[in-house]
Structure 1
Amino acid sequence: MRARFWLGLTLFVALIAAVMPVPAWIEDFRPDWLLLVLGYWALALPNRVNVGTAWSLGLVLDILQGAVLGANALALSVVIYVLALHFQKIRNFSVWQQAIIISLLSIMVKLLSYWMSYLAYDIDFNDQQLWGALINFLLWPWLFYLMRRYRRHFRIS
């Protein structure tokens, strides 16, 4: 029960960070906080954080952002499915190799979200949003070690 609370708290903080307002010039460089935290938990505890968790949080993110309902949910659930499918291999990679995988998956999230929005609204693709993948690449090692320390401190398993 206690471990579930601490795990949920990290996901809640990531959700808040994902929708927190930032200046317009920083918006393109915003990391995918929810993807990073969900990705960590999907690799560390695949039995607790799975596609259903990603789908639920993606729907909440869609509602909070006012995006096409299901766009983030689909994108996050596909990416978490890929991570859950290969979690044993990815766990054995170095942190920088994991960062490359996370950044490629964040590009996949951006493209899937764009595709869903394009089908609904016929919008143009903003390639400046892909800078977030570079930021995710740089943040992953720091977040990985921080979350691992957090998981061990609160004995989340």
Structure 2
Amino acid sequence: MRKRNLIIWGSIIIALVLQIVPLPIQADVYRPDWVLVVLAYWSMALPSRVNVGVAFITGVAMDILVGTTLGIHSLGLSVSIYILAANYQRLRNYSVWQQAIIIGLLSSLYHLVTFWVQHILTDIYFQIDYLWPVIASMVIWPWVFWLLRRTRRQFSIM
């Protein structure tokens, strides 16, 4: 049981690290939402273990790592994962490509929520560059899905 929880938390920590790895300025605009994608997989696969509470804790960790106002990412992740967790039985039946579109919608909601909160707090303005991670998250979803599903089956995580 402990080993299985360590694998779930390990994948979330890897996603957090991938979220803050320094990239060149030209590539940083296209950075996918690694944390959202990993949380989305685990909340669809194991909704009783990975839920809104895990998303909130992970969001607080992401706020600390990125250096934003405490609660911005946790609110965005919590809202996105709540919507996903409320519909996980339906979303499981979709193909991976249809799920990628749903991940894109959830990613756009996540960015919209974080933008709104940052706009209220710091008066930033919307730029189209904020939406590139949505496309990147949709593109990486099939590979992340395949990798995490293979890991889940290999370690018999249920």
Give the TM-score normalised by structure 2: 0.97
In the other structure, the counterpart of 2:24 is: 23
In the other structure, the counterpart of 1:121 is: 122
Note the alpha carbon deviations across 1:6-46, whole angstroms, 9 max, x for none.
11100110011111111111111000000000000000000
Superposition misfits of 4+ residues, deviation over 2 angstroms: none
1-side partners of 2:135 and 2:59: how far apart?
22
SS of match in other structure, 1:114:
helix
Letter in 2 for 1:99: A
2-side partners of 1:124 and 1:22: how far apart?
23
In the other structure, the counterpart of 2:146 is: 145
CA contact (8 A) 1:68 1:116 kept: no
Note the alpha carbon deviations across 1:116-141, whole angstroms, 9 max, x for none.
11111001112112111111111111
SS of match in other structure, 1:83:
helix
Unaligned stretches of 5+ in structure 1? none
Give the TM-score normalised by structure 1: 0.98
CA contact (8 A) 1:106 1:133 kept: yes
Note the alpha carbon deviations across 1:46-92, whole angstroms, 9 max, x for none.
00000000000001101111112111000000000001000000000
Letter in 1 for 2:77: L
Letter in 2 for 1:87: Y
Equivalence map 1:2-151=2 (5 Å): 2-151=3-152
SS of match in other structure, 2:113:
helix
Unaligned stretches of 5+ in structure 2? none
Letter in 2 for 1:86: N
CA contact (8 A) 1:54 1:80 kept: yes
Letter in 2 for 1:18: Q
- State the superposition RMSD in angstroms: 0.7
Aligned residues with identical type, % of pairs: 45
1-side partners of 2:72 and 2:130: how far apart?
16
2-side partners of 1:67 and 1:111: how far apart?
16
SS of match in other structure, 2:85:
helix
